Chain A
């Protein structure tokens, strides 16, 4: 076995372990901040897997979009609403956990079954396009995938405008959907200084 293949196997093992353990940590840890940071680690490891598959552009895009934007926004949101709140204990927490675990395990077994029964058409490493993939992705985005690409951009634009309208409710005196006057108390609450309740 050549050194290159050994390195690849070692990298793959480490990355998969980080992904598995990190993902479990995201779900199971009590502290939401830890979960958010671990999620960033999981995203990074997925980018590492893309790198192992010779898809460097996809890996960099993964880092830019998921780690640099999505994860940062999640952490931002957590830190801006970091009020200490006493949550009510849930009575039937045990049965809920059992049900969710069963559902997750069923989905996992389904995925494993698909993985084992499907015949994957793997291309040999010689056929991989490697560095050329940036150009190919661009060509596809502007030819046969143009419509999904544009629809996705319109969707994101709509989400952005919606978020702005929600965030700047103070500019409107009436609620858009119901036509009732806006609940001013809610606005007062949201514009309270951040760290007053944190002691």
Chain B
């Protein structure tokens, strides 16, 4: 059997050494990757919040946070602690149950979607066969949470914000799904692992961004719209709607929205890097380097090295995209709601449909380049 880095297998073997049955070992193993990914997501949010503060400061020629820790790195933690100990207010005329359930419904699908994000060949929680489709399905639950919190706040700004958020989210979901479909067509599989493996042939040259440039741009625009990032942050447009559906929220419930939007941003960046930028692949294939240096590819230390390069590459690509998203947020003006819906329905939808059609045609014409 070929040796592969399989943490689950070695962990189970390790526990069996203590005389536990394999079932109990499996049960002890199950929560570990989930906890790890949850911690990774939260740390990712802290880093992103810090980056957002620092980059926005640089864009506006300010210094930004600098007293909490070196260069202000502890500022996001201070923010989080402040939100944690703030009073939890439910407005007197709000609907208590829906008001509480709203933020939870917004956050949970986003965190569940991390199930399919791979950081390496075996480094993901679960290689479900429906992979990327699971993410599309889960992200369609979010508008319900937004509508719920908008309605329950009993405030017209909240209601309008919730309606806008849901309208935006369902209109941009369609071009998003269509551009993912073009990738799936080239891969012959919905699994994120297969999608990355399909791009691993010739390093940077085989990344999907060269074969799907239109899909890449459509996907990135739609992902930004789904995250409600600035060119598209109409649901919380502060000049018109105070803060949209978040207006009445305070303390930890507000923090859930905040956390949800940043986790969603990182998730979208990770998915762009998986779908279009080769996922965990190094620009030059690691196998080629190993062959060049005459190293055995299956040796344990090479495996560990490859895995760590994979994690570093995935995170690096994702944060490059997060950086672009932050720059966009602090340099572009906001679109109007009619422009937003026009862009979604009249421009992105036809373009992504044409892209899908052309991809299917190219797949038939050049099966060796576009997946057989």
- Which of B64-72, B138-146, B224-232, B311-319 is the contact stretch? B138-146
The count of chain B contact residues (Cβ–Cβ below 8 Å) is: 28
A63:B144 contact, CB within 8 angstroms: no
Residue of B nearest to A31 (CB): B95
Residue of B nearest to A2 (CB): B23
Q: Which of A60, A80, A134 contacts B137 (CB 8 A)?
A: A60
A79 at the interface (CB under 8 A from B): yes
Chain B interface, >50% SS class = helix
B129:A68 contact, CB within 8 angstroms: no
Q: A3-B23, A37-B148, A63-B141 in contact; A79/B130 too (CB < 8 A)?
A: no
Q: A57-B130, A63-B137, A131-B129 in contact; A72/B144 too (CB < 8 A)?
A: yes
The complex places the Cα of A171 from the Cα of B213 at a distance, in Å, of: 39
- B121-135 vs A, CB cutoff 8 Å, 1 = contact: the mask equals 000000011100110
B322 at the interface (CB under 8 A from A): no
B243 at the interface (CB under 8 A from A): no
The complex places the Cα of A2 from the Cα of B27 at a distance, in Å, of: 12
CB distance from B44 to the nearest CB of A (A): 25
Q: A61-B137, A68-B137, A72-B143 in contact; A56/B130 too (CB < 8 A)?
A: yes
Collect the chain B residues with CB atoms within 8 Å of residue A68's CB: 137, 140-141, 143, 170, 173
Collect the chain A residues with CB atoms within 8 Å of residue B151's CB: 33, 79
B137:A64 contact, CB within 8 angstroms: yes
Q: Which of A37, A56, A71, A80 contacts B98 (CB 8 A)?
A: A37
B156 at the interface (CB under 8 A from A): yes
The complex places the Cα of A131 from the Cα of B190 at a distance, in Å, of: 10
Collect the chain A residues with CB atoms within 8 Å of residue B138's CB: 63
The complex places the Cα of A119 from the Cα of B170 at a distance, in Å, of: 43
- A178-194 vs B, CB cutoff 8 Å, 1 = contact: the mask equals 00000000000000000
Q: Which of B130, B134, B140, B159 contacts A195 (CB 8 A)?
A: B159
Q: A3-B23, A64-B137, A68-B137 in contact; A75/B130 too (CB < 8 A)?
A: no
A67 at the interface (CB under 8 A from B): yes
B130:A60 contact, CB within 8 angstroms: yes
The complex places the Cα of A61 from the Cα of B156 at a distance, in Å, of: 33
The complex places the Cα of A57 from the Cα of B27 at a distance, in Å, of: 25
A76 at the interface (CB under 8 A from B): yes
Q: Which 8 A-B pairs have the closest CB atoms?
A: A68-B140, A131-B129, A60-B137, A64-B137, A63-B137, A195-B156, A56-B130, A72-B143
Query: Which residues of A are interface residues toward B (Cβ below 8 A)?
Result: 2-3, 33, 37, 40, 44, 56-57, 60-61, 63-64, 67-69, 71-72, 75-76, 79-80, 130-132, 134, 195, 198
Residue contacts A-B, CB under 8 angstroms, 20 given: A2-B23, A3-B23, A33-B98, A56-B128, A56-B130, A64-B133, A67-B141, A68-B140, A68-B141, A68-B170, A68-B173, A71-B144, A75-B147, A75-B166, A79-B147, A79-B151, A79-B159, A79-B162, A130-B129, A134-B129
